[in-house]
Amino acid sequence: MRYLILSDIHSNLEAFEAVLEDAGPVDQVWCLGDVVGYGPDPNGCVARLRSMDHLCVAGNHDWATVGKLDLSDFNPDAREANLWNREQLTPSNLAYLESLPETLVQGDFTLLHGSPRHPIWEYIIYASTAEINFEHFDTLYCLVGHTHTPVIFRQQRDDGQSSEALAPLLNKPRELGSERLIINPGSVGQPRDGDPRASYAILDDEARTLEHRRVSYPWEKTQAKMMGQDLPLRLVLRLQYGW
């Protein structure tokens, strides 16, 4: 089976559509949370995701939108955009977001948004954080989002010492062996690694490979929609820089 692995769409329909087209046919979509928040198309993104065969776990923005998380933990721009997203969402799409589980296990993969230790909130940015988190899931691999940065953490270096972060090779399938990995596909709708292109990954469970990919999308369209809704300027501008 061929799976599309994506995370942090953040109500950016232009980026989401570009990823779906670039990915080509897949058997199932695995979404690692934060479907909404920040961007201008919460209903469009939730509806598009729901129209496909998919699995999805909850992100902090999804939970904040449905009142499961306190918005006082968000920075002012994120809070403002989240409240706007909440106002737009239909009752059906809100109920869908409310129903999302914190964690899912599919074969060799654990799916969650933040970290195995704290699925909704913890960011795995450093190898030291990844190392602790390897003790908190049972499968060979864990798929995470939340940091908006594509990366792979391996549990042990070749010398048997501590965990390390690997920069994913774009458009090059990586063989999944027997070493334990925490894999982040990056963000579809608001990349933060200096590359504004939408980020995602393709998993082929028969070939046992995972491939990170990037695709350009018309971010100026998303920006124009955000300006039209008076969403925070900082959130508008960051799309073109990928920060």
Residue numbers at the binding site for Zn ion (CB under 5 A): 8, 34
Minimum distance from CB of 204 to Zn ion (Å)?
26
Nearer to Zn ion, 8 or 17 (CB): 8
Token duo for residue 102: 């914190």
Residue carrying the six token digits 């920069």:
167
Minimum distance from CB of 187 to Zn ion (Å)?
6
Q: Which is nearest to 89 in space by CA: 47, 142, 132? A: 47
When CB distances to Zn ion are compared, the closest residue is 34
Minimum distance from CB of 122 to Zn ion (Å)?
13
Nearer to Zn ion, 123 or 134 (CB): 123
Q: Which is nearest to 6 in space by CA: 215, 237, 207? A: 215
Q: Please report which helix (H) or strand (E) contains residue 228, including its range.
A: helix 219-228
199 in Cβ contact with 191 (< 8 Å): yes
Minimum distance from CB of 59 to Zn ion (Å)?
6
Nearer to Zn ion, 100 or 176 (CB): 100
Q: Which string of DSSP letters, residue by residue, matches 34-52? A: --SSSSS-HHHHHHHHHTS
Nearer to Zn ion, 56 or 176 (CB): 56
